[in-house]
């Protein structure tokens, strides 16, 4: 039975480009155009354009503390300076991750929350339930989002929209006029490269796509390349690496949890801090070009210790890389592991994240 | 002249006398996407028709490659260890994977000719 999917405004553009399409998070999305490896390379060397209209956007307007927003996420909203954004989590009472997300401080009393596609409807319901006041609106359908990522992204953006884009530092954004409408241009992304996420009204997103692709330094890239790019720099993918039965502490993402404030799930995390975690995230590098894949088993000394949650062949490293979860214990750098699935077996060693650290992200 | 035969799993074998070179079809290479790894058998290994002969991985998936005919592995294309992308560039020429000594040419009746394979692809 075919999965019911929603089309982004760019669907016919992708089909014209002969993209391979597949369902992702309830949306009909481009997986690749010319090929995952070529698109990955273009993003690392030039500038790649991604249709990210599937992601969810919500607006909260009101008093952050009286409205209850301050206690919703693992980070403080009220201390985000206007014009900056912050990454963190929406947790359940057990400390499990309902979603990972970014909050953009638009003004003194207004934020935009950007969430994953597959989780957006549930996130909106959960957050609404936790709020005590203020106005909370789901603007996903009216909002288009394009990511332009790569070392040439700044030059491309400056050519298209002027010098004001050049000065935006990492995790800061500006509101500016693009194609006669108000758009948000944010120095954030999911690739480890210098880049921008652009939020624009959905009815202008096709025009913006066409405009950016006119620049010969820019090529479209699909979700296939995006997955390789994000794993090379060690970013978690919601639904694969993190989920409702995984806490930020288990996922090695405790840096995005502020224990000096209240949030749902705090008691569970404090308990976990005291008693220790049952599982932990590990990263490993394979000794061949073979790719670890989701659900492959991780063995240490012939003993199963966990399973792979994300794995790819890394073009930058020339070998397979992966992350997974293992029973809590000692996994020192260089420790040998075996990754197994049916007839497939590959040798690997524990390594550090990120796998690839030479991107243009902060340049 | 070498004759080319195909399996339903999209392997080909190019038969020259008592030996044949084996690879995967252009259709299969295209479907798999960017090939990143090819696992080749050891020279001297014997296989039965439709047994696992080799393995291939793309960015998207890992798949087994099955022996189109029974035989013994005479040679493998070691270039694919370092440049597996050759499979995407030249699946039915340069990216041969294994050379087999054919043990029973009567098994060819279980394979498709080029024309039959082309027809088969239309049904997918």
B113 touching A (Cβ < 8 Å): no
B62 touching A (Cβ < 8 Å): yes
Confidence band for A1, pLDDT divided at 50, 70 and 90: very low
CB contact under 8 A, A343 and B39: no
Q: Percent of chain A having pLDDT more than 70?
A: 99
CA distance B58 to A289: 10
pTM to 2 decimals?
A: 0.94
* Chain B contact set for A313 (CB, 8 A): 36-37, 57, 59
CB contact under 8 A, B57 and A313: yes
Pairing mode, strands A27-32 and A6-7: parallel
CA distance B93 to B97: 10
Q: Is the pLDDT of residue A4 over 90?
A: no
Average pLDDT of the segment spanning A17-26: 95
Confidence band for A363, pLDDT divided at 50, 70 and 90: confident
In A4-35, which positions are buried (b, 16+ CB within 10 angstroms) versus exposed (e)? ebbebbbbebbeeeebbbbebbbbbbbbbbbb
What class is the B3-122 domain?
A: mainly beta
B55 touching A (Cβ < 8 Å): yes
A102, two tokens: 């970014």
CB contact under 8 A, B33 and A344: no
Average pLDDT of the segment spanning B94-122: 97
**pLDDT tens digits, one per residue of A219-229:** 999 999 999 99
CA distance A59 to A61: 7
Across the interface, of B34, B52, B57, the residue whose CB is closest to A36 is: B34
Domains, chain A, in order of start with CATH, read 6-54+141-232 (3.30.1360.120), 56-135 (3.30.70.1400), 278-363 (2.40.30.110)
B52 touching A (Cβ < 8 Å): yes
CA distance A105 to A60: 10
**pLDDT tens digits, one per residue of B44-102:** 999 999 999 999 999 989 999 999 999 999 999 999 999 999 999 999 999 999 999 99
Average pLDDT of the segment spanning B14-30: 97
Q: Mean pLDDT across chain A, nearest whole number? A: 97
Average pLDDT of the segment spanning A11-16: 98
CB contact under 8 A, A36 and B52: no
List all residues 6 or more positions away from A90 whose beta carbon is below 8 Å from its beta carbon.
Answer: A72, A73, A74, A97, A98, A99, A100, A101, A115, A123, A126, A127
Question: For B39, which residue in chain A has the nearest alpha carbon?
Answer: A290
Average pLDDT of the segment spanning A277-297: 97
**ipTM score here?**
0.86
CA distance B28 to B9: 8
């Amino acid at each position: 039975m075919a999965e019911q999917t929603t089309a982004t405004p760019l669907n016919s553009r992708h089909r014209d480009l002969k993209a391979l399409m597949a369902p992702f998070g309830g949306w009909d999305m481009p997986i690749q155009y010319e090929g995952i490896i070529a698109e990955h390379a273009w993003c690392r060397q030039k500038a790649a354009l991604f249709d990210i209209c599937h992601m969810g956007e919500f607006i909260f307007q009101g008093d952050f503390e009286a409205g209850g927003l301050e206690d919703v996420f693992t980070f403080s909203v009220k201390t985000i300076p206007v014009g900056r954004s912050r990454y963190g989590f929406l947790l359940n009472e057990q400390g499990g991750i309902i979603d990972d997300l970014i909050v953009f401080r638009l003004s003194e009393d207004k934020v935009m929350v950007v969430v994953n596609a597959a989780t957006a409807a549930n996130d909106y319901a959960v957050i609404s339930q936790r709020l005590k006041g203020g106005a909370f609106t789901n603007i996903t359908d009216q909002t288009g989002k394009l990511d332009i990522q790569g070392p040439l992204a700044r030059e491309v953006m400056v050519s298209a929209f002027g010098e004001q884009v050049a000065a935006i530092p990492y995790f800061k954004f500006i509101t500016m006029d693009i194609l006669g409408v108000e758009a948000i241009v944010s120095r954030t992304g999911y690739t480890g490269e210098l880049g921008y996420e652009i939020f624009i009204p959905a009815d202008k997103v096709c025009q913006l796509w066409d405009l950016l692709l006119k620049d010969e330094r820019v090529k479209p890239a699909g979700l296939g390349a995006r997955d390789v790019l994000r794993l090379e720099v060690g970013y978690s993918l919601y639904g694969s690496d993190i989920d409702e039965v995984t806490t930020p502490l288990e996922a090695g993402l405790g840096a995005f949890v502020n224990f000096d404030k209240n949030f749902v799930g705090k008691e569970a995390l404090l308990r976990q801090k005291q008693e220790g975690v049952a599982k932990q995230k590990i990263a490993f590098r394979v000794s061949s070009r073979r790719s670890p894949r989701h659900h492959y088993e991780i063995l240490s000394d012939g003993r199963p210790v966990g399973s792979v949650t994300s794995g790819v062949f890394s073009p930058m490293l020339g070998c397979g890389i992966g992350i997974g979860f293992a029973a809590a214990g000692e996994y020192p750098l260089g420790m040998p592991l075996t990754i197994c699935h049916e007839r497939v077996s590959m040798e690997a060693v524990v390594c550090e994240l990120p796998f690839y650290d030479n991107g243009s992200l902060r340049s | 002249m070498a004759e080319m035969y195909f399996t339903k799993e999209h392997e080909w074998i190019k038969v020259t006398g008592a030996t044949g070179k084996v690879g995967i079809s252009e259709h299969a290479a295209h479907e798999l996407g960017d090939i990143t790894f090819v696992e080749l058998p050891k020279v001297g290994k014997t296989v039965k028709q439709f047994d696992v002969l080799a393995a291939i991985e793309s960015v998207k998936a890992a798949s087994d490659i099955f022996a189109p005919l029974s035989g013994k592995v005479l040679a493998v294309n070691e270039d694919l260890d370092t440049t597996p992308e050759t499979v995407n560039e030249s699946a039915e020429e340069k990216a041969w994977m294994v050379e087999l000594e054919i043990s029973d040419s009567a098994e060819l009746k279980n394979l498709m000719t080029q024309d039959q394979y082309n027809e088969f692809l239309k049904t997918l």
